[in-house]
Amino acid sequence: MTAPAALVQLTPPRRSIELQIDGEAVSAPEGTTIFDACRQRGNVLPTLCYLETLHPVNACRVCVVEVENSRVLVPSCSRKVEAGMVVHTDTPRVRHSRKMVLEFLASSVDLSTTPHVSEWLADYACHPERFGPPAPPAAAGVRDAAHAGHHAAPDPEYAATVHQPTKLDNELYVRDYRKCILCYKCVEACGTDYQNTFAIAVAGRGFDARISTEFSIPLPGSACVYCGNCIAVCPTGALMFSSEHDRRAAGTWDESRQAVVDTICPYCGVGCTLSLHVQDNEIVKVTSPFDVSITRGNLCIKGRFGWQYVQERPGAGSGRGQRNGVPRGAGDQGDGESGRVGKGGGNGRDATSPADSPLGKRAPG
């Protein structure tokens, strides 16, 4: 019926677009982003919210460049090249905006586990401390409860931050939102871009915006299926394997002693590529390469977390009991423990008193 596969052209040939970048004539295929066009010339612009496997949200603005005849700077990670475009990637205006973005983030967010950031802060001569000493962390739950459109008057002593206690509510990964730059990647990975689980979304507005489950309930009661695809895309370490988090806390996390070994997941017939991160002969986390077409970096709970059996022995594992890493509540639908029910999952409607609900203390409506 059709021609042999080798002859099928799946995409139309892409036109070549002529433009100018930093004074040099450049040609790039139609549909290329400015970022990619720059990268092809060896000029890798800083990015935070950009990832090849996700739809660009262009929210962080660290990748901005100047395009002649454009009133404002444009995000290189999402703007497509256009014929005759004249792009400048390193003007004083560009450098100023990048510097401000980096200072804004560094003064309000804990970037200690964000790759490249210390180099960029130095490159752009950033002094995040000039906004004042970071405000002390908010008590647990306070940022989760902020009401849109209102805020307390600023404290002249401090620069406001998103610092808050780490959310430890399951055995597989931690959510440390003091490190969250609100890049939307986890929401995209959990939602429409990959997992279609929609356990988390952006809630609140402005500086009080945050990644949240509904009513900020703990993960075991949420729709989370522990695929860990959010951890894989998080650029700051805000979402982190418990195994990594605990080792970091104990001071035993050491990437220089780690090897990354690729293998195929043994669980099902899909055969996802697993990259085992091994330290001291123990698997400390599992990722999948973003450029493998089977996974594009995504896994399921088994491939991502179900590897303790490989090394089950006294004293090993994540340090949180040897439960083979299966979280309580994960995968259970409508279990009494989490007080939640899957759609159509039996007669869950009749169950539980308000006290069993994660929001049990709330006054009944």
Partner 1 sequence: MDLRFSLAHATDAERSAVDACLGPPTSRWDGGERVGTEESRTASSGHAARARRDLLLPALQAAQRRVGWISEGALTYICERLDVPPAEAYGVATFYSLLSMTPRPRRVLHVCDDIVCQCRGATAMIAELERAAGPPLGHGPHADHVVLDPDAPQWIRSPCLGLCDQAPAALLQVAGETPTDKLFGATTAAELQAVLRGDDRIPERAHPTVPQAGAPTLRLLSRMGVVDPMSLDGYRSTGGYLGLRRAFEIGPTGVIREVLDAKLLGRGGAAFPTGKKWDAVARQPTRPHYLICNADESEPGTFKDRALMEGDPFALVEAMTIAAYATGCAHGYIYIRGEYPLAIERIEHAIGQARLRGLLGEHVMGQEFQFDLEVRRGGGAYICGEETALFNSIEGFRGEPRNKPPFPVDFGLFAKPTVVNNVETLVNVPWIARDGGAAFAAIGTAQSAGTKLFCLCGCIERPGVYEVPFGATLRDLITMAGGVRGGRPLRTVLVGGAAGLFVRPDELDIPLTFEGTRAAQATLGSGVIMAVDDTIDIRALLVRIAAFFRDESCGQCVPCRVGTVRQEEALHRITLRRMRGSVADELALLGEIGLGMKDASICGLGQTAYSAIESAINRLHLFEDAVAP
Binding site for ligand SF4 (CB under 6 A): 180-186, 211, 233-236, 238-239
What, of partner 1, ligand FES, ligand SF4, none, does residue 212 touch, CB below 5 to 8 Å by kind? partner 1
Exposure of 363 in the CB half-sphere (CA atoms within 13 A): 1
Task: Return the number of the residue (73 or 238) whose C-beta is nearest ligand SF4.
Answer: 238
- 91-95: list long-range contacts, CB under 8 Å, 24+ apart: 91/66, 93/66, 94/64, 94/65, 94/66, 95/124
Coil vs helix vs strand at 129: helix
Binding of ligand FES at residue 49 (CB under 6 A)? yes
Separation CA 339–CA 299 (nearest Å): 27
Going by C-alpha positions, the residue among 224, 211, 216 that lies closest to residue 170 is 224
* Virtual torsion, Cα 239, 242, 246, 248, nearest 10 deg: -40
What, of partner 1, ligand FES, ligand SF4, none, does residue 8 touch, CB below 5 to 8 Å by kind? none
Binding of ligand FES at residue 48 (CB under 6 A)? yes
Q: How far is the CB of 152 from ligand SF4 (least distance, A)?
A: 20
What, of ligand FES, ligand SF4, partner 1, none, does residue 234 touch, CB below 5 to 8 Å by kind? ligand SF4
Q: How far is the CB of 23 from partner 1 (least distance, A)?
A: 21
Binding of ligand FES at residue 50 (CB under 6 A)? yes
Task: Return the number of the residue (39 or 61) whose C-beta is nearest partner 1.
Answer: 61
Going by C-alpha positions, the residue among 44, 168, 178 that lies closest to residue 113 is 178
What, of ligand SF4, ligand FES, partner 1, none, does residue 277 touch, CB below 5 to 8 Å by kind? none
On whether the CB atoms of residues 77 and 65 are closer than 8 A, the answer is: no
Binding of ligand FES at residue 77 (CB under 6 A)? yes
Binding of ligand FES at residue 104 (CB under 6 A)? no
Q: How far is the CB of 57 from ligand FES (least distance, A)?
A: 7
Site string for ligand FES, 214-253 (x = CB under 6 A): ----------------------------------------
Q: Which pair of structure tokens corresponds to residue 278?
A: 């091994």
Task: Return the number of the residue (65 or 211) whose C-beta is nearest ligand SF4.
Answer: 211
What, of partner 1, ligand FES, ligand SF4, none, does residue 326 touch, CB below 5 to 8 Å by kind? none
Q: Which pair of structure tokens corresponds to residue 31?
A: 């549909």
Task: Return the number of the residue (186 or 284) whose C-beta is nearest ligand SF4.
Answer: 186
What, of partner 1, ligand FES, ligand SF4, none, does residue 196 touch, CB below 5 to 8 Å by kind? partner 1
On whether the CB atoms of residues 94 and 66 are closer than 8 A, the answer is: yes
Strand partners, 174: 240
Distances (CA, A) of 275 to 114, 123, 183, 248, 278: 20, 32, 24, 20, 9
Q: Which of 62, 182, 190, 234 binds ligand FES (CB under 6 A)?
A: 62
Going by C-alpha positions, the residue among 155, 158, 99, 160 that lies closest to residue 132 is 158
The amino acid that residue 17 corresponds to is I
Q: Buried (b) or exposed (e) across 95-133, using 16+ Cβ within 10 A?
A: eebbbebbbbbbbbbbbebbeebeebbeebebebeebee
What, of ligand FES, partner 1, ligand SF4, none, does residue 47 touch, CB below 5 to 8 Å by kind? ligand FES
On whether the CB atoms of residues 85 and 20 are closer than 8 A, the answer is: yes
Q: How far is the CB of 115 from ligand SF4 (least distance, A)?
A: 12
Binding of ligand FES at residue 34 (CB under 6 A)? no
Q: Which of 17, 21, 37, 47 binds ligand FES (CB under 6 A)?
A: 47
Q: How far is the CB of 65 from partner 1 (least distance, A)?
A: 11
Q: How far is the CB of 176 from ligand SF4 (least distance, A)?
A: 8
Separation CA 307–CA 208 (nearest Å): 37
Binding of ligand FES at residue 63 (CB under 6 A)? yes
Q: Which residues bind ligand FES (CB under 6 A)?
A: 47-50, 58-63, 75, 77
